[in-house]
Amino acid sequence: MPTDNPLTVEGVALGRRLFHETALSDDGTLSCASCHVQANGFGDPRRFSIGTTGQEGTRHAPALVNLGWDTAFFWDGRRASLEAQAHDPVVNPIEMNARWPEVVDRLRQLPQYPPLFHAAFGTPHIDSVLVVRAIAQFERTLVSFNARYDQFHATGDSTVFTDEERRGLVLYVGRGACAACHPLGMFTDHGLRNVGLEPFNVDSGLAGITGLSTDLARFKVSSLRNVGVSAPYLHDGRFSDLMAVMEFYFEHLEATTPNLDHLMIDLLDEQGQFTHAEKMDPIAFLHTLTDPEFANDPSFSAP
Ligand code: HEC
Ligand code: HEC
């Protein structure tokens, strides 16, 4: 957590309101929550989100969870803090398509906001820095550690799982090699990695930011928490269900992808070696990462 933006009850409350505030978009139709839907783990159920001009993006709006532990944001990791991230969708022409001075003017004229900024930051003066700080505070409260999996994590009692889920866990940490990048607990190692989708990537991922060929098609390792409710999957939402993801990992890894992550080697050796049941079991396990309280928590919904 950045030292210049400590969490306060008032800051989080303001951030929650701003996350659901359509005045952040040029025509007043979109809020952050329009593309980051709580029932979908704060991801977008559509493959590509649609901005206020009707234009589609080229990346899927990811689920938002446990972001306070992350250090790189967006699929290509181009922002280093939640504050810096929250600045961007407001001015992105294919998202909210607004100008910060106009947004700030609009908020100043809404009677509820100056007192809320005063309560949160000790000043009724509204500016973009305080807006993104409040939103980042709210996002840091989007914490999910209350899935059925967590009962097992806390007690080691594997009877919380069905047989299918237990076999899925064994495969997940064993032959499937999933835990190498999505370790138990956080279910992400916070890295940016190339999983071997195709030999010629349309989206260059991290390399689009650094210009380095060694960063080609490296994307942020997703947390798998709430993955059961946050379809579609991957940076471009190409897979509409978890079976399609399993088929990719177990059958269709592209060995000739330049810059393939070394942690994919074990899976490469096992291509085509998984039965249908061995693809179903990890899916059952992944569903134990769904936190029903998180999806329905009233303190995250529109105030
Ligand atoms: C029009 C749809 C849309 C709107 C509105 C929108 N987002 Fe997003 N969001 C996206 C997409 C698409 C991405 C992925 C873009 C990329 O990686 O290049 C994203 C990525 C993010 C991420 C990165 C998550 C991660 O794991 O790195 C955060 C955080 C986020 N958005 C928060 C917000 C906030 C806060 C707002 C409001 C100020 C907002 N979004 C408004 C579509 C949207
Ligand atoms: C080398 C690291 C690595 C390994 C090993 C790995 N993953 Fe991933 N995983 C990633 C990365 C990186 C992404 C995002 C890739 C993208 O968007 O192009 C991802 C994305 C996913 C997604 C989509 C999440 C979302 O919200 O879009 C699922 C589901 C998933 N992985 C499950 C698994 C399973 C199950 C295994 C084991 C069979 C596995 N992963 C093995 C790195 C890895």
Residues 137 and 15 both lie in one domain? yes
130 located within any domain: yes
Query: Last residue of some domain: 126, 143, 160?
Result: 143
State which of 116, 143, 170 marks the end of a domain.
143
**Which residue's CA lies nearest to atom 3 of ligand 2?**
181
Confidence of residue 199 (pLDDT cuts 50, 70, 90): confident
What single letter denotes the amino acid at residue 110?
L
Residue located nearest, by CA, to atom 9 of ligand 2: 221
The answer to the question of residue 55 being in a domain is yes
Q: How many domains does the chain have?
A: 2
CATH number, residue 129: 1.10.760.10
Same domain, 83 and 55: yes
What are the pLDDT digits (tens) for 58-70?
999 999 999 999 9
**Structural domain ending residue among the three candidates 124, 143, 162:** 143
**Residue to mutate, 66, 182, 202, 257, ligand 2, most ligand atoms under 8 Å from C-beta:** 182
Buried b or exposed e, range 100-134, using 16+ CB within 10 angstroms: beebbebbeeeeebbebbeebbeeeebbbebbbbb
| Amino acid at site 72 | A
Ligand 1 center to residue 277 CA distance, Å? Answer: 35
Atom of ligand 1 nearest to the CA of 19: 37
Evaluate whether residue 3 is within a structural domain: no
Please give the structure tokens belonging to residue 268.
């490469």
Using most ligand atoms within 8 A of CB, pick from 17, 35, 236 the residue to mutate for ligand 1: 35
**pTM of the full predicted structure?**
0.97
Q: Give me the residues paired with residue 239 across strands.
A: 233
Pair (157, 282) in one structural domain: yes
Which residue range forms the structural domain that includes residue 260? Answer: 148-293
pLDDT confidence of residue 251: 97
79-93, pLDDT tens digit by residue? Answer: 999 999 999 999 999
Q: Which of 77, 89, 2 is nearest to 49 (CA)?
A: 89
pLDDT tens profile 215-271: 999 999 999 999 999 999 999 999 999 999 999 999 999 999 889 999 999 999 999
